[in-house]
Every structure is written in C-alpha cells, then in structure tokens.
Amino acid sequence: MHVELLYHTPDPERAIATAARLCYAPVGASELMETMPEERVKSVLSTIMGSGHFSTLEHASYTFAIEGVSRALTHQLVRHRIASFNQQSQRYVKFKNGLEVVTPPSIAENDETHVVFDEAIKACLEAYDALLNAGIPAEDARYLLPNASETKIVVTMNVRELLHFFNLRCCNRAQWEIREMAHKMLELARPTAPYVFADAGAPCVSGVCPEGKMTCGNPYPRVTRD
C-alpha cells in the first residue's frame, strides 16, 4: 500500500482560524490571514474544536494519492459521500499483462489458504484474458475481476470530513486494510496541522468508545490538546 499526501491548503490552521474570526471581525479575510498573530490562531482553533463550530474546518482540504490497495478497500472508501474521488478505471484499463492483487494477511500466513487464494485468482485472470481475447469489452470482462484487485485512487477531503473519516476508520472496529490506510493518511496530515489533528483518530483517542457491546476493549492511549 502506498499513501501519499499530494497537496493540501497552504497554512491550513491559519485558513481555518481566518474563516472563524471573519464572523466576528470588522476587517476582511485577507487582512486576517496576513495579520493574525500565531497565538490568536491557536486560541481561535481551541474555541472551534471545543465549541463544535466545525463548518470552519471545511475551508482546508487535503488530497491523497493511494495505490496498491484492493477494490474491497475502495468500495468502503467511496461510501464517504462528502469526499471527492477519481479511480483507475477497469473499463478503460485492460489488465493484459496480469493484475496485482492484495492478499489479506490472514490468508497469506497459512500455506494451504494461500494456495487456495492464488489458484482462485489465477482462474479469474485466465478467464478474464480469454474473454478479452474473444473480443469482449473490458467493461464486461471485468465482471470476473476479484475484490482483491489492486487499484489506484485519488481522494480529496476537507478537514471536517477527514476528522470524521479518521473517527470511523482508525477505529479497531474498521476493516484492517482501510484502517491501515486511514492511519497512514493521519500520519501524513498531522504534521501539517498539529493542533487540529492532535486528537484525531478513533473516538477513544479523545473520548469514550461509542461501540457498546461491539467495542474492541483495547482503547488507544487518550490524547488531549494543550
């Protein structure tokens, strides 16, 4: 799995604080962006994160390039409706020279299950090739491609959505592959806006686990903003 932060709003914390301050300031956003002292940026952010004035978080956004993940992962990822996506197409890209797949560790760690998995994938790909060679369009032949197929996707989320995404997908209840990806995204985003992302992650990082009987019972260490 390869996760890269392609780009993000410059100075995201200042951009968010500017949007918040504009509501109460006699001057414009441009002047606030340039002149607000660093301590003021931090105190405004503290108010936002404490008060839930989260529309201000929508003014900073992040774009990630994600590769080497399965279609099983991206099917879950694209359920996040506030995010924007573009994904490598199985209609326009023909996997004539084979297709990389993601093998779940639970399968890979056992020789017998690994063989079962590899043989099933091989059979799918042979049938896919045979359909392409018979002139079937890729958009139809792809019906045979497995959930394990590797894919590439670009995703953009604003900070409000990103925090929500981390809340759901960094949690131990989330499926292992999307959880691994969410943690990589958080590792990349955190240094760019350390205050905003300080307690990002599963709900137990900043509060109480909401999972009830479904809890993993293994909370992450608690983090609080200074």
Ligand X SMILES: Cc1cc2nc3c(=O)[nH]c(=O)nc-3n(C[C@H](O)[C@H](O)[C@H](O)COP(=O)(O)OP(=O)(O)OC[C@H]3O[C@@H](n4cnc5c(N)ncnc54)[C@H](O)[C@@H]3O)c2cc1C
By CB under 6 A, name the binding residues for ligand X: 79-82, 161, 164, 168, 173-174
Closer to ligand X by CB, 40 or 85: give it: 85
**Catalytic-role residue among 169, 173, 179, 190:** 169
Angular region, 173: left φ>0, alpha ψ -120 to 50, beta rest: alpha
Closer to ligand X by CB, 49 or 174: give it: 174
Closer to ligand X by CB, 85 or 136: give it: 85
**Rounded to 5°, angle at Cα 12 from 2 and 32:** 170
Q: Measure the CA–CA gap between 149 and 98, rounded to whole angstroms.
A: 10
Helix (H) or strand (E) holding 5: strand 2-8
CB 189 within 8 A of CB 8: yes
Shortest CB 82 distance to ligand X, Å:
5
Q: Measure the CA–CA gap between 64 and 4, rounded to whole angstroms.
A: 5
Q: Measure the CA–CA gap between 161 and 216, rounded to whole angstroms.
A: 24
Q: Measure the CA–CA gap between 191 and 13, rounded to whole angstroms.
A: 11
Shortest CB 158 distance to ligand X, Å:
11
Shortest CB 157 distance to ligand X, Å:
8
Closer to ligand X by CB, 174 or 189: give it: 174
**Is 169 considered catalytic here?**
yes
Closer to ligand X by CB, 21 or 179: give it: 179
Strand, helix or coil for residue 56: helix
Q: Which tokens hold the place of 57? A: 């978080």
CA dihedral over 207, 211, 213, 218, signed as positive or negative? negative
Give catalytic residue positions. Answer: 169
